[in-house]
Amino acid sequence: MATTPTLAKADDEDESRTAVAHAARIEHVSKSFGGPADAQLVLDDISLDVAPGEFVTLLGASGCGKSTLLNLVAGLDSPTAGSLTTAGRPALMFQEHALFPWLTAGKNIELALRLRGVTKAERRPEAERLLELVRLGGSYGKRVHELSGGMRQRVALARALAQDSDLLLMDEPFAALDAITRDVLHDELTRIWRETGLSVLFVTHNVREAVRLAERVVLLSSRPGRIAREWTIDIPQPRRVEDAAVAELSVEITEELRKEIRRHGQH
């Protein structure tokens, strides 16, 4: 019997928080692109739960379906088979900051607040609070061209947080940044996650980034994407990418990733 694809989104967030014991539940999800004659299976029978307050990274080689899965969880696309459930509407942060260049940093955040239904009088104080949270206090009036790459990603993070979601989806948000800026933003993201209690589903192809940030690392096989293996990360936070324990586990995960890439290359 064919599985009917479903995508459940709770409109009443307060009700969903009490009724759902997970931030995201992915059950036997598959995704194909193309028509019946030339369908390409991108994701195959993915089942994964993200617990409330949990930080999970999706790791895999380019083209394995990580971003596709994130888009499904975000509700930007529908699965071919299986079901997805989230506790409220997720907030999504992309690799590119996607800020509107004609708006100031504060007004970019206010746009998300307006779409959420926040009153005009409340928007600026809330935007300034969120800028303080991402360590950009005093930057409300700065234009996008006045901000560095790292600062732009902080504003993008503040805008995502403005959606007041319990689940933050992040699609390689630091990939384009230099190593030092990326390391600083790792620290900031870890701090914000711990302060807010958010659940985070974070896509990356950088093994050390995955181990540096996550409580759990999920490795996807090369196309079609399947869950190949999971690791629970017991290394205490805060972590550094150069920590011995992070480096040791990264070597193990990298070898598993290489196996998946070699396996894919043999087909």
Q: Which two tokens stand for residue 222?
A: 């090369």
- Dihedrals phi, psi of 33, to nearest 5 degrees: -120, 150
With 0.95 as the threshold, say if the pTM is over it.
Answer: no
Burial letters 207-232, b for 16+ CB under 10 A, else e: bbbbbbbbbbbbbbbbbbbbbbeebe
- Cα–Cα distance, 118 to 199 (Å, whole number): 23
Give the strand pairing for 227-232 and 6-9.
Answer: unpaired
Q: For residue 169, what are the contacts with CB-CB under 8 A and spacing of at least 6?
A: 70, 73, 74, 90, 91, 92, 93, 200, 201
Q: What pLDDT, on the 0 to 100 scale, is given for residue 18?
A: 41
Q: Are 152 and 168 in contact (CB under 8 A)?
A: no
Q: What pLDDT, on the 0 to 100 scale, is given for residue 20?
A: 54
**Domains plus CATH for the chain?**
21-90+165-267 (3.40.50.300), 97-164 (no CATH)
Low-confidence ranges of the chain (pLDDT < 70): 1-20, 264-267
Q: What pLDDT, on the 0 to 100 scale, is given for residue 265?
A: 63
